[in-house]
Amino acid sequence: MRALVFDGPWQIGTQQREDPVPAAGEALIEVHATGICGSDIHGFTGENGRRHPGQVMGHETVGRVAQVGAGVTGLRPGATVTVNPVIACGECPACRAHAEQSCPRRRVIGVTPDLVSAFAELLVVPAGNVVELPESMPTEYGALVEPLAVGFHAAVRGQCSDTDRLLVIGGGPIGQACALAAQRLGVGRLVVTEPHPRRRDLVGALGAHAVDPSTGDVAEAVTSALGGPATLVLDAVGATGSVEDAVRCSSFGARVVLVGMNAPRIDLAAYAVSTEERSLIGSFCYSADDFRQTAQWVGTSPPQLAHLVDGRVDLDAAGGAFTDLARGDSQASKILVFPGGPANKEQSR
């Protein structure tokens, strides 16, 4: 099979690899499309140190079941599927509590170096991580399930409800996912702060009110748009500046969910958290239930999803897409890599 192989910082290209064969309990997936994630870009540049030479990355994927290993039932060959990348042990206290993302023995497709992942023509995964999708939906939407599940989990962690005045900080793919998740949970008062005009236009198309935080008083703009300070903030950036904005724009007793991972350390206005009794909540990945719920929602083909994919490349062009995204030369929000080549806008089968 052909696969996109990371050979070191700023080096990635197509190579031949042996076709994988599913063992007992596994499924072989013929990959249709895989999204380029921000974490993939940070790995490509060497910034996060979580990708290793010789690794095949990719974890936001959709494909078809090509073959199943011994003992696998319930997966139909030819079915359209997505894959939950979090491989948990299934036995520890976290797994028993249905918090698989916190499993201390978890392995993650696209991150764990020895797992040949989804930027390839074929992918072998545990059958229990495969989630079937309806044939009626545009196939490429399946590659959006993973990032959308990240946003949904963040909203759930923040106990998001229809009574909230919600601020999402950052209009990139995870911020977009947070905004859509909030709408799924009934939020009507929703603002997204985003300095990039193209992304502001995109979140506006998703039904959120977009604010440019680089002009004027961001707290005043957010409070005016929401009709009061935010009661819930989903920080999809994760930097000192974004947390400062979260505190400035939120009310006494507000919940602030940190889902963005821009920086490993931040400075925190501790007095503003303690004296005004804000809650700072961490959010990482998603549970298996969050992932399946999101896949079910994506399977209904919500019209907003048509706005999310704005770049499509084949394996040979993927290296250039990585480079352009890393250098800031690409304006795309979400680029999908199609091992078999993208169809025209991929809006139909």
- 66-85, pLDDT tens digit by residue? 999 999 999 999 999 999 99
276-286 pLDDT, tens per residue? 999 999 999 99
Check whether 254 has a pLDDT greater than 70. Answer: yes
pLDDT of residue 345: 47
Numbered ranges of CATH 3.90.180.10 in the chain: 2-146+287-338
pLDDT of 315 reads 97
Contacts (Cβ under 8 Å, ≥6 apart) of 241: none
Chain segment 142-182, per-residue pLDDT in tens: 999 999 999 999 999 999 999 999 999 999 999 999 999 99
Tell me what pLDDT residue 49 has: 73
State the first-to-last Cα distance of the chain, in angstroms, to the nearest integer.
23
Q: What is the arithmetic mean of pLDDT over 89-97?
A: 97
Q: Is 259 helix (H, G, I), strand (E, B) or coil?
A: coil
* 47 residue type, one letter: E
Domain boundaries 159-282, corresponding CATH code: 3.40.50.720
pLDDT band at 346 (very low <50, low <70, confident <90, very high): very low
Separation of alpha carbons 36 and 48, rounded Å: 16
- Environment class of 250 (CB within 10 Å of its CB; exposed 0-12, middle 13-18, buried 19+): buried
Q: Is the pLDDT of residue 347 over 60?
A: no
- Rounded CA-CA distance 283/174 in Å is 12
Contact assessment for residue 258 and residue 175, using Cβ atoms and an 8 Å cutoff: no
- E strand residue ranges, 36-105: 60-68, 80-83, 86-87
Q: Cα separation of 115 and 136, whole Å?
A: 31
pTM above 0.85, yes or no: yes
Task: Give ranges for CATH 3.40.50.720 in the chain.
Answer: 159-282
69, exposed or middle or buried, with CB in 10 Å at 0-12, 13-18, 19+? middle
pLDDT one-digit tens code per residue, 177-190 = 999 999 999 999 99
Distance of CA 23 to the CA centre of its chain: 28
Q: Residue 47 gets which letter from DSSP?
A: S
Task: Decide if pLDDT at 343 tops 80.
Answer: no
Mean pLDDT, residues 27-48: 94
CA–CA separation, 292 vs 294, rounded Å? 5
pLDDT for residue 255 is more than 70: yes
Average pLDDT rounded to a whole number, residues 98-120: 96
Cα Rg, the chain, nearest whole Å: 20
Arithmetic mean of pLDDT over the chain: 95
CATH number for the segment(s) 2-146+287-338: 3.90.180.10
